[in-house]
């Protein structure tokens, strides 16, 4: 606890794996008082501890096990998922199951478009001619949500979307719906965290090495770095992809993990970071500056490449930690006060979190909001 900022410290950590180059599932908590704090409602944690609501209304029934009954629909705001992101369709009751979110009714039946309070539109699924957008005119009460999880470098600027969306759903902290997660901060020291068994020094799961997607910086660093330290590489680049069920166990068996973002943008701290943190592996990060990471995670939970003058110096530091268990274990000190847990089991469930958070938001926020230019915001 020594070096923690104790007061009014909003600490947000991303602790969950998502799809390649995307996922953001943020933990959020406020250190002050070592308990959950009220946060601005647009950042309100998805995962609530106080879940004593005795809501046993029929609408808590998994929506996809019953055909939609219009009579139930108006009990809660309706969130229409216009297209399932990357065809990842989840059970409509998962928000209740995983996050205790039950503030809206998630549907994917386009026939109910006219009743939907909000429509969630996944940017990557929008066609260039906009022909697959929902119909106009939209009902006056309906809000459209722009759902996007890639960094600006990897975002297609489809023309015509500028002023259509009332709300944004993103990893960015300044999005209308910013997907974050509360870390559980404990008043009393947390016992029992054990550093998982390690049989590898440094690992990297990587598939995308195409410089055009903005991966140039990390490849350049890697080319130099690998001359000085052994790196176990998994993924398409090495021709040994991991199965879903091998993903976390393999990650956890490495002392360090290269959390190299494909492009460098504010708040763009992805599953490449969340994953190792959640499984008890120390991330070696290349991404936005250290200060940005520290808004999400304890300062002693990761190693930042910018803290080293060269790849060689970083390699030497990791090799030194490899021989010094005591020094290595200091990267887990923060776990005496903070629990990092993943609520989902496979890395490709990232979208559940986003959609659940959108559901929670529209359950709480009913206000009118004029569309704003998403690109001006996103690319600024």
Ligand X SMILES: *[C@@H]1O[C@H](CO)[C@@H](O)[C@H](O)[C@H]1NC(C)=O
Which residues fall within 8 angstroms of residue 191, CB to CB, at 6 or more apart? none
Rounded CA separation 172/235 (Å): 27
* Minimum distance, C-beta of residue 371 to ligand X, in the bound complex (Å): 3
Candidates 76, 105, 123, 143: give the one binding ligand X (CB under 6 A): 143
Nearer Cβ to ligand X, position 109 or 373? 373
368 in contact with ligand X (CB under 6 A): yes
Nearer Cβ to ligand X, position 124 or 372? 372
Which residues fall within 8 angstroms of residue 149, CB to CB, at 6 or more apart? 18, 22, 23, 24, 170, 171, 350, 354
Secondary structure tally for the chain: helices H, strands E: 10, 15
* Minimum distance, C-beta of residue 134 to ligand X, in the bound complex (Å): 12
191 in contact with ligand X (CB under 6 A): no
Rg (CA), the chain: 21
Nearer Cβ to ligand X, position 128 or 368? 368
358 in contact with ligand X (CB under 6 A): no
141 in contact with ligand X (CB under 6 A): yes
* Minimum distance, C-beta of residue 362 to ligand X, in the bound complex (Å): 11
Rounded CA separation 209/294 (Å): 27
Per-residue contact track with ligand X, 157 to 186, x per CB under 6 A?
------x--x--------------------
Which residues fall within 8 angstroms of residue 132, CB to CB, at 6 or more apart? 83, 125, 126
Residue 150 appears among annotated catalytic residues: yes
Helix (H, G, I), strand (E, B) or coil at 144: strand
Exposed/middle/buried for 24, CB within 10 Å: 0-12, 13-18, 19+?
A: buried
CB atoms within 10 A of CB 183: 29
114 in contact with ligand X (CB under 6 A): no
Q: Which stretch binds ligand X (CB under 6 A): 273-281, 305-313, 320-328, 363-371?
A: 363-371
Nearer Cβ to ligand X, position 326 or 370? 370
Rounded CA separation 366/358 (Å): 12
366 in contact with ligand X (CB under 6 A): no
Nearer Cβ to ligand X, position 138 or 343? 138
Site size for ligand X, by CB under 6 A? Answer: 8
| Among 68, 75, 86, 150, the one annotated catalytic | 150
272 in contact with ligand X (CB under 6 A): no
Q: What region, left, alpha or beta, does residue 373 occupy, with left being phi > 0 and alpha being psi -120 to 50 degrees?
A: beta
Binding site for ligand X (CB under 6 A): 141, 143, 163, 166, 368-371
What amino acid positions are annotated as catalytic residues? 150
């Amino acid at each position: 606890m020594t070096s923690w900022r104790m007061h009014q410290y909003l600490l947000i950590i991303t602790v969950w794996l998502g799809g390649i180059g995307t996922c953001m599932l943020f933990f959020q908590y406020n250190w002050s008082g070592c308990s959950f704090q009220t946060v601005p409602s647009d950042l309100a944690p998805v995962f609530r501890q106080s879940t004593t609501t005795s809501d046993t209304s029929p609408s808590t029934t998994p929506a996809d096990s019953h055909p939609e009954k219009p009579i139930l629909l108006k009990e809660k705001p309706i969130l229409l998922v216009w297209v399932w992101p990357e065809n990842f369709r989840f059970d409509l009751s998962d928000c209740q199951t995983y996050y205790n979110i039950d503030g809206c009714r998630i549907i994917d039946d386009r026939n109910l478009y006219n009743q939907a309070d909000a429509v969630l539109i996944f940017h990557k699924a929008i066609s260039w001619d906009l022909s697959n957008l929902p119909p106009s005119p939209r009902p006056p009460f309906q809000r459209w949500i722009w759902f996007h999880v890639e960094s600006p470098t990897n975002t297609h600027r489809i023309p015509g979307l500028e002023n259509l969306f009332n709300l944004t759903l993103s990893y960015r902290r300044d999005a209308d719906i910013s997907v974050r997660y509360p870390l559980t901060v404990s008043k009393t020291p947390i016992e029992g965290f054990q550093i998982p068994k390690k049989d590898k020094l440094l690992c990297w799961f990587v598939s995308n090495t195409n410089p055009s997607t903005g991966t140039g910086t990390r490849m350049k660093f890697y080319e130099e770095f690998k001359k000085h330290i052994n790196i176990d590489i998994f993924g398409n680049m090495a021709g040994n992809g991991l199965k879903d069920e091998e993903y976390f166990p393999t990650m956890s068996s490495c002392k360090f993990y290269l959390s190299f973002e494909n492009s460098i943008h504010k708040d763009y701290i992805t599953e490449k970071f969340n994953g190792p943190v959640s499984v008890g592996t120390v991330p070696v990060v290349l991404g936005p500056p250290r200060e940005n990471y520290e808004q999400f995670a304890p300062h002693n939970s990761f190693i930042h490449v910018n803290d080293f003058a060269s790849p060689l110096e970083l390699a030497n530091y990791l090799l030194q930690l490899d021989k010094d268990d005591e020094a290595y274990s200091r990267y887990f000190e923060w776990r005496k006060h903070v629990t990092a847990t993943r609520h989902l089991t496979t890395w490709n469930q990232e979208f559940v979190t986003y959609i659940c958070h959108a559901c929670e938001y529209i359950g709480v926020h009913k206000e009118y909001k004029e569309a704003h230019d998403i690109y001006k915001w996103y690319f600024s």
